[in-house]
Chain A
Amino acid sequence: MITVTGLTKRYGGFTAVDDVSFTAEPGQVTGFLGPNGAGKSTTMRMMCGLTPPTAGACTILGRGYADIPNPGRFVGVLLDASAQHTGRTGREVLNLGALLMGLDQARVDQLLDLVGLTPAEAARRTGNYSLGMRQRLGIAHALLGDPQVLILDEPANGLDPAGIRWMRGLLRTFADRGGTVLLSSHLLAEVEVIADDLVIIGRGRIVAHGSKADLLEAQGTVVRGLDPVALEAALVGAGLAYRSRPDGGLLVSANAEQVGRAAAAGGVVLVELGRQGAALEDMFLELTAADAREAVPA
């Protein structure tokens, strides 16, 4: 369980993180989304005591980070997979972690096996690692102390499709065992698949927060009828707001059941009814449009 309350970070006149509050619940994967520079990493560093907040607080398992004894045993953290001494071998990075946390060295082999780094790869210096290998090493390091909470900044970055699927399974299992997972990402499709809850941040402020199902449902329902004119009439008759999509479908501000009933009442045959594809991307771009670097076509 992670509880963030009013976290704020100002650098001079610039507010990087502005009054951010949310919780990440045990048993859930919470996706932390935002455009580049929105304040995701700064928020995560404040959670782990690396950046002193200007205001606000964060508790993990009910305590401030600095008050967690031997924090590696409770919170697995991966903030930057490339932040490793380039002259140290992958195995040695884990050895040091195990030594510090007071773990058996056998745990190192167990984790190397878990993340799929071979003994030969583990014996190489991290300076020679690909980004994907560094991510695997970082995930192994985060899991080393058998924690109850995971805080991961862009963990899927650099992983190949098989690696991404593997990590998805790993995080799902971790959450299903009762663990708390907070992961930031800009790979929206990836987050859409794995996250239960979403926290969306733009220019330092939370712009949306809730369960993925609720947030995506609020995005509306895509519907397509055999007779488009009759369908539009049925929606108007049911009092549902909608707009046309370039592909000929209609995006209705209602859930699938409401749209289905309206169509049935109007006797319209439906050929498509459901959530729009890339819904998270649309929502993300819409919510963070004011903060984005690129203009979003309406």
Chain B
Amino acid sequence: MTTITQPAPQRALTDVHRVAFARLFRVELRKLLDTRAGKWLLIAIGLLTLLFIVLALVFAKPPDLTYEHLVTGTATPQGFLLPVLAILAVTSEWSQRTGLVTFTLEPGRGRVVSAKLCAVVVLGIAAVLLALALAALANLLSGPARGGSGSWAFGVSGFRDIVILQLIGMIEGFAFGMLFMNSAAAIVLYFVLPIATSIIFNVVHWLQNHLAMWIDPSTTQAPLSQHTMHGTDWVHLLTGVLLWVALPFVIGTVRVLRSEVKSA
């Protein structure tokens, strides 16, 4: 074992700048990749995306083998796993207690949260790009291999809808993570609360007829996943997002900024 050999550091406080946001972002991005859980979650997202594409290519009816159908198929596995990635990005600081180090090295918690959100969004968009690329490859192969339609009809709106859909899920997961600061609670409630809401809306007809399009997330997001967005669909989507994403995001942010970071 060696000992410290350098002379006493006499760095002045005024000589050092605060940690640049780009560096915070790189660290948060790396933290999503450098743990066993994070690495396998990303591998799972990639493999499941590939699996859905391959299954569609092998088993779908030839007329259904279009670019739009292939892309939409990938939205399901990604829609499940990308929010989990977003949740863990936040909650691991509490569940794994690393927040003690994270918020000591950067006391600006708002900056840490922003860097995390950027890192999560970048990985999410990368996953969607992967899905778009694999779907394109499959669509090229579908004609020669299965006599598929091979239609490329998708439009700018198609790209827009898939990106918005996945971003809503991820940011909602991120918000739930901040709200509950606990991996298990955030993941379970992220999946259970919308399902419970849908069940209630399906059972109570008055709600189904009058409020579902505003509140029930599966209803407000349906036109988005089906690429049929128009007119009031956007207003319905917005109210749903305000309730399910913005509200937990605001409360969660306040919790993260104000709460005590403890080791136990």
Is the pair A113, B2 in contact by a Cβ cutoff of 8 Å? Answer: yes
Judged by a CB distance under 8 angstroms, whether A82 is at the interface is: yes
Give the residues in chain B near A207, CB-CB below 8 Å. none
Q: Which residue of A lies closest to B26 (CB)?
A: A99
Question: What are 12 contact pairs spanning A and B, CB under 8 A?
Answer: A45-B262, A48-B107, A50-B103, A69-B17, A70-B16, A70-B17, A70-B18, A83-B100, A101-B105, A114-B2, A148-B11, A174-B4
Q: How far is the CB of B217 from chain A (nearest CB, A)?
A: 31
Give the residues in chain A near B24, CB-CB below 8 Å. 100
Is the pair B13, A49 in contact by a Cβ cutoff of 8 Å? Answer: no
Q: How far is the CB of A87 from chain B (nearest CB, A)?
A: 4
Is the pair A79, B263 in contact by a Cβ cutoff of 8 Å? Answer: yes
Which parts of A145-160 form the interface with B (CB within 8 Å)? 146-148
Is the pair A66, B108 in contact by a Cβ cutoff of 8 Å? Answer: yes
Among A51, A62, A66, A146, the residue within 8 A (CB) of B6 is: A146
Judged by a CB distance under 8 angstroms, whether A41 is at the interface is: yes
Cβ contacts A241-276/B at 8 Å (1 or 0 each): 000000000000000000000000000000000000
Is the pair B31, A50 in contact by a Cβ cutoff of 8 Å? Answer: no
Q: How far is the CB of B175 from chain A (nearest CB, A)?
A: 22
Q: How far is the CB of A146 from chain B (nearest CB, A)?
A: 5
Total A-B Cβ pairs within 8 A: 134
Q: Which residue of A lies closest to B38 (CB)?
A: A87
Q: How far is the CB of B13 from chain A (nearest CB, A)?
A: 6
Give the residues in chain B near A62, CB-CB below 8 Å. 13
Give the residues in chain A near B27, CB-CB below 8 Å. 96, 99-100
Give the residues in chain B near A88, CB-CB below 8 Å. 34-35
Judged by a CB distance under 8 angstroms, whether A105 is at the interface is: no
Interface residues on A, range: 35 or more
Judged by a CB distance under 8 angstroms, whether B101 is at the interface is: yes
**By CB atoms of chain B within 10 A, which of A63, A100, A101 has the most?**
A100
Q: Which residue of A lies closest to B27 (CB)?
A: A100
Judged by a CB distance under 8 angstroms, whether A141 is at the interface is: yes
Is the pair A85, B98 in contact by a Cβ cutoff of 8 Å? Answer: yes
Give the residues in chain B near A45, CB-CB below 8 Å. 260-262
Judged by a CB distance under 8 angstroms, whether A132 is at the interface is: no
Give Cα distance in the complex from A89 to B34, angstroms: 8
Q: How far is the CB of A252 from chain B (nearest CB, A)?
A: 41
Give Cα distance in the complex from A71 to B111, angstroms: 14
Give Cα distance in the complex from A178 to B2, angstroms: 19
Give the residues in chain A near B210, CB-CB below 8 Å. none
Q: Which residue of B lies closest to A50 (CB)?
A: B261
Give Cα distance in the complex from A97 to B34, angstroms: 13
Chain B residues close to A by CB (< 8 Å): 1-4, 6-9, 11, 13, 16-20, 23-24, 26-27, 30-31, 34-38, 92, 96-101, 103-108, 258, 260-264
Give the residues in chain A near B262, CB-CB below 8 Å. 45, 50-51
Give Cα distance in the complex from A71 to B7, angstroms: 20
Judged by a CB distance under 8 angstroms, whether A22 is at the interface is: no
Give Cα distance in the complex from A12 to B84, angstroms: 35
**By CB atoms of chain A within 10 A, which of B1, B18, B20 has the most?**
B1
B interface SS class: loop
Q: How far is the CB of A140 from chain B (nearest CB, A)?
A: 12
Among B11, B92, B261, the residue within 8 A (CB) of A73 is: B11
Chain A residues close to B by CB (< 8 Å): 41, 45, 48-52, 61-63, 65-66, 68-74, 77, 79-80, 82-89, 92, 96-97, 99-102, 113-116, 125, 141, 143, 146-148, 166, 169-170, 173-174, 177-179
Task: Knowing A114-B4, A178-B8, say if A66 contacts B101 (CB, 8 Å).
Answer: no
Task: Knowing A74-B11, A85-B92, say if A173 contacts B4 (CB, 8 Å).
Answer: yes
Q: How far is the CB of B109 from chain A (nearest CB, A)?
A: 9
Give the residues in chain B near A85, CB-CB below 8 Å. 35, 92, 96, 98
Q: How far is the CB of A82 from chain B (nearest CB, A)?
A: 7
Give the residues in chain B near A65, CB-CB below 8 Å. 107
Is the pair A86, B96 in contact by a Cβ cutoff of 8 Å? Answer: yes
Give the residues in chain A near B261, CB-CB below 8 Å. 45, 50-51
Give Cα distance in the complex from A141 to B106, angstroms: 14
Task: Knowing A70-B18, A146-B6, say if A83 contacts B98 (CB, 8 Å).
Answer: yes
Give Cα distance in the complex from A68 to B14, angstroms: 9
Give the residues in chain B near A79, CB-CB below 8 Å. 100, 104, 263
Give the residues in chain A near B104, CB-CB below 8 Å. 48-50, 71-72, 77, 79
Q: How far is the CB of A93 from chain B (nearest CB, A)?
A: 8
Task: Knowing A178-B8, A179-B8, say if A101 contacts B19 (CB, 8 Å).
Answer: yes
Give Cα distance in the complex from A71 to B30, angstroms: 21
Give Cα distance in the complex from A63 to B13, angstroms: 9
Task: Knowing A50-B103, A85-B96, A146-B9, say if A100 contacts B19 (CB, 8 Å).
Answer: yes
Q: How far is the CB of A78 from chain B (nearest CB, A)?
A: 9
Give the residues in chain A near B1, CB-CB below 8 Å. 113-116, 166
> A-B pairs with the 6 shortest C-beta distances?
A80-B263, A83-B97, A177-B8, A87-B35, A87-B36, A50-B261
Is the pair A61, B13 in contact by a Cβ cutoff of 8 Å? Answer: yes
Give the residues in chain B near A170, CB-CB below 8 Å. 3-4
